[in-house]
Amino acid sequence: MVGKGTQEAAKGRGGAEQRRASVSGAPASDPAMIRNVALVGRSGAGKTMLTEALLMATGALTRLGSIEAGNTVSDSDPSEVHQQRSVALSVVPLTVGDLKVNLLDTPGYADFIGEMRAGLRAADAALFVVSAVDGVDTATTALWAECERIGMPRAVVISRVDHPRAGYDAVLAACRENFGAGVLPVYVPVRGGGAITGLLGLLTGTVSDASTPPARRPATEAELLDSDLARATLIEGIIAESEDETLLDRYLGGAEISLDTLTADLEIAVARGSLFPVLATSAETGVGLAELLELLTGAFPSPLERPLPPVTGLAGESVGPLPCDPAGPLVGEVVRTTLDSFLGRVCLVRLFSGTLREDSIVHIGGHGLADRGHQDHDSDERVTHLQSPLGATLRPVPFSVAGDICALTRLTDAETGDSVSDREHPLLVQAWEMPEPLMPVAVQGEAHSDEDALAKSLGKVAAVDPTLRVERNPETHQLVLWCMGEAHAEVVLDRLRAQGVHVQTVDVITPLRETFAAPVAARGRYVKQSGGHGQFGICDIEVEPLERGAGFEFVNRVVGGVVPGHYIESVEKGVRAQMARGVAAGFPVVDIRVTLVGGKAHSVDSSDAAFQSAGALALREAAAAGRIQLLEPVSAVTITVPDAYVGPVMTDLSTRRGHMTGTTSVAEERTNPGVDERTEINAEIPDAELLRYAIELRALTAGSGTFRRRYLRHEPVPAKVASAAVQA
């Protein structure tokens, strides 16, 4: 089947619908018959094409699509077609016998780690796809550690073994070195003519090939001899994880352990997350696809075997652990939301408990993301359209049970991360950890008339993307999108333009501030006589700098009533207004004390407005006579990198005017201690040097470095930097 599809592909492929076989979207009715598996790994590892090949192997497709043609089932977003890589989570269900396997194809590029974490939230196991050409990178190793922390069962697929530059043995060794000794092959490649033509099962002693239909044969003596060491290592690994304490003694005593016993113990260890099987695959030739399907259905756990995330009531009261029971209380979570011009919001929902039925009324609750611009909200909505997703295709279903993944359309208020529960007994699922967007992108409409459309469309885009934060900077008045990186920003801009918004990017302005560098005295004289009632206000002030963060003080030292008491407040208002406007480069003035020491008033022409103008003018005159110091925001930054990159990162910090304050070794419980140890570098860095740091740190550390930041204080800007900032 796979070979035929490959030949047809060479002649030209139609869209996904034209390639799709007639496969029912009938819902699963028993959580025990469901498997939810996230495909994770670096961009370009082959996750999307592996998904295509599995769809074809199970009869859901008649021929393979291609990334270049933009017609794969899981990559349907226009940005994915444009960038030729996955940028969003996609759900692709497979029917394997009586089982339903929901494959969650996740993006591998670092900018879309939020979508990857959403996939892990919806999954019960992770399938690491590692390219036999590109091998293991540090980002994949960090992702393995993240799955380890949450106790996610894992397996490894070494993909693209048909490639001329494939190096299966070297990549397997790298996987064991980086992921730990629990990573063990359960099949080894069989080669013919220099190419991998099939897999030898280490436990069964049989060889399967990628013929049509797939064929199995007993391994030859030479093949068994070559695989003897790998087989012994696998059996010892299984025995080490077995709950049968007599198994090791029997094995060491020379007893033959039955295949059924080894297989059962292997599946238990994999489902428990203590042993991680490895096999090789090729989406083009079909090698390993049958074995991978056996792994997905036989070794990975069902939703019944995985703990549910913590659940609370609306007021935060704890709710006891819920079972994955179709008859239990309804609890689900929106793991992804998209906007469709015809269907409105399309929400992918992972159901943890209960049964969701069409035409039922559910409670939609979102809490805990106010810092991302997603205010807490609660609403009741009717489920008018319940669907089973297959990539971008939605197939109507009457119900969806605990453990399954479904799609809801035409909801009004649902956002990614929201909980779905029964209207009569509303519950909230504890939110998963969202990555912090750290790259600012300033945007504006191409014309003034585009501003309203931009604001409206941004609200829609931000509602479906929890890794995007929209901010209207109160000091610079810029509209800033906080993104995960350049690729994420490009996707956001593409989605805005797809809604007809004419948007452009502009340079991000760092919100500087101004202060006085030394004491100075000045007079503000606002006198206008043009006939009739005039304006008269004169005030003498002294300005002196205060320590950083002290704010503003206004002191009245007028003697003899030269400035009437009811105008003293007017002078202060004028000074404060001018401070907000700035006195040198248009940035707010901070950390000064202004003392009113004298002035003059007129019995007829003086007024509140005149003394406000005089106060503002006095501050401007003081700035002209004195020396103004620009202040820039400085953030406390914590950078976490593998030890191998500590030196380059520290060197780079010195070029950013950064001041390092210390380092800390990050202690983590790892199954393979000593591999990829990490260090936290604490530093103080000006915000102007952090505008593109999310991208540059990734380049410095091969995608493995992360950082977090918090505002610390404002500090004086060096003279050469200040002149450039003022000119900008």
Task: With CA atoms as reference, report the closest residue to 335 among 495, 144, 120.
Answer: 120
- Residue 688 in tokens: 């102007």
What's the whole-number mean pLDDT along residues 236-251? 88
- Distance between CA atoms of residues 131 and 160, nearest Å: 6
Using DSSP's 3-state secondary structure scheme, residue 98 falls into: coil
Whether the pLDDT of residue 170 is over 80: the answer is: yes
Structure confidence at residue 648 as a pLDDT band (50, 70, 90):
very high
Of 237-241, 316-320, 401-405, the range with the lowest mean pLDDT is: 316-320
Distances (CA, A) of 698 to 85, 107, 316, 703: 18, 16, 38, 4
HEC assignment per residue over 215-267:
CEEECCHHHHHHCHHHHHHHHHHHHHHCCCCCHHHHHHCCCCCCHHHHHHHHH
Distances (CA, A) of 194 to 218, 594, 645: 21, 84, 38
Which of the two residues, 21 and 610, has the higher pLDDT score? 610
pLDDT attached to residue 19: 55
What's the whole-number mean pLDDT along residues 219-244? 91
Assess contact for 240 and 182: CB atoms under 8 A.
no
- Distance between CA atoms of residues 131 and 112, nearest Å: 19
Share of the chain above pLDDT 90, in %: 58
pLDDT attached to residue 339: 82
pLDDT attached to residue 6: 30
Q: In what order do the strands lie in the sheet with 427-429?
A: 318-319, 311-313, 427-429
Q: Mind listing the pLDDT tens digit for each residue in 657-714? A: 989 999 998 865 454 544 457 899 999 999 999 999 999 999 998 888 899 999 999 9
- Distance between CA atoms of residues 140 and 666, nearest Å: 18
Whether the pLDDT of residue 602 is over 60: the answer is: yes
In angstroms, what is the C-alpha Rg of the chain? 32
Using DSSP's 3-state secondary structure scheme, residue 301 falls into: coil
HSE, CB side, 13 Å, CA atoms: give it for residue 180. Answer: 18
Task: With CA atoms as reference, report the closest residue to 566 among 596, 607, 605.
Answer: 607
Q: What is the DSSP string of 471-524?
A: EE-TTT--EEEEESSHHHHHHHHHHHHHTT--EEEEPPPP--EEEESS-EEEEE
- Distance between CA atoms of residues 658 and 683, nearest Å: 6
Q: Mind listing the pLDDT tens digit for each residue in 496-539? A: 998 889 999 999 999 999 999 999 999 999 998 776 678 999 99
Structure confidence at residue 177 as a pLDDT band (50, 70, 90):
very high
Whether the pLDDT of residue 324 is over 90: the answer is: yes
pLDDT attached to residue 342: 80
pLDDT averaged over every residue in the chain: 87
Rounding to the nearest 10 degrees, give the CA dihedral for residues 589, 590, 592, 597: 40
Q: In angstroms, how far is CA 7 from the centroid of its own chain?
A: 38
What's the whole-number mean pLDDT along residues 151-166? 93
Q: What is the DSSP string of 99-140?
A: EEEEEEE---SGGGHHHHHHHHHH-SEEEEEEETTT---HHH
Distances (CA, A) of 70 to 8, 24, 83, 489, 644: 17, 24, 10, 21, 38
- Name every residue whose Cβ is closer than 8 Å to that of residue 678 and which is 6 or more positions away in sequence: 640, 641, 642, 643, 665, 666, 668
- Residue 429 in tokens: 């699922």
Q: What amino acid occupies position 211?
A: S
Whether the pLDDT of residue 1 is over 80: the answer is: no
Assess contact for 135 and 71: CB atoms under 8 A.
no
b/e per residue, 643-652, with b = 16+ CB within 10 A? eebbeebbeb
Dihedral of CA 56/62/65/71: which sign? negative
Helix (H) or strand (E) holding 271: helix 259-272
CA angle 142, 148, 150 (to 5 degrees): 115
- Distance between CA atoms of residues 123 and 30, nearest Å: 16
Q: In angstroms, how far is CA 204 from the centroid of its own chain?
A: 41
pTM attached to this predicted model: 0.85
- Distance between CA atoms of residues 488 and 507, nearest Å: 17
Q: Mind listing the pLDDT tens digit for each residue in 99-149? A: 999 999 998 888 888 889 999 999 999 999 999 999 998 888 888 988 998
pLDDT attached to residue 673: 47
- Distance between CA atoms of residues 18 and 14, nearest Å: 6
Of 30-44, 77-91, 167-181, 283-297, the range with the lowest mean pLDDT is: 77-91
Strands (E), 273-340: 276-280, 311-313, 318-319, 331-340
Residue 643: DSSP 8-state: G
Tokens 């707010």: give the residue: 588
- Residue 251 in tokens: 């094995």
Which of the two residues, 481 and 671, has the higher pLDDT score? 481
Whether the pLDDT of residue 44 is over 90: the answer is: no
- Name every residue whose Cβ is closer than 8 Å to that of residue 715 and which is 6 or more positions away in sequence: 548, 631, 632, 634, 686
Which of the two residues, 529 and 726, has the higher pLDDT score? 529
Structure confidence at residue 361 as a pLDDT band (50, 70, 90):
very high
Dihedral of CA 117/122/126/127: which sign? negative
Q: Mind listing the pLDDT tens digit for each residue in 535-588? A: 999 999 999 999 988 999 999 999 888 999 999 999 999 999 999 999 988 899
- Share of the chain residues as helix, strand and coil, in percent rounded to the nearest 5: 30, 30, 35
- Residue 144 in tokens: 């393995």
Q: Mind listing the pLDDT tens digit for each residue in 300-323? A: 999 999 989 999 998 888 887 889
Structure confidence at residue 401 as a pLDDT band (50, 70, 90):
very high
Assess contact for 105 and 53: CB atoms under 8 A.
no
Assess contact for 619 and 541: CB atoms under 8 A.
yes
- Distance between CA atoms of residues 185 and 231, nearest Å: 9
Dihedral of CA 83/86/92/96: which sign? positive
- Distance between CA atoms of residues 267 and 495, nearest Å: 43
Assess contact for 95 and 22: CB atoms under 8 A.
no
pLDDT attached to residue 617: 97
pLDDT attached to residue 674: 42
- Residue 345 in tokens: 């919001």
- Residue 596 in tokens: 């009113």
What's the whole-number mean pLDDT along residues 595-614? 92
Which of the two residues, 676 and 391, has the higher pLDDT score? 391
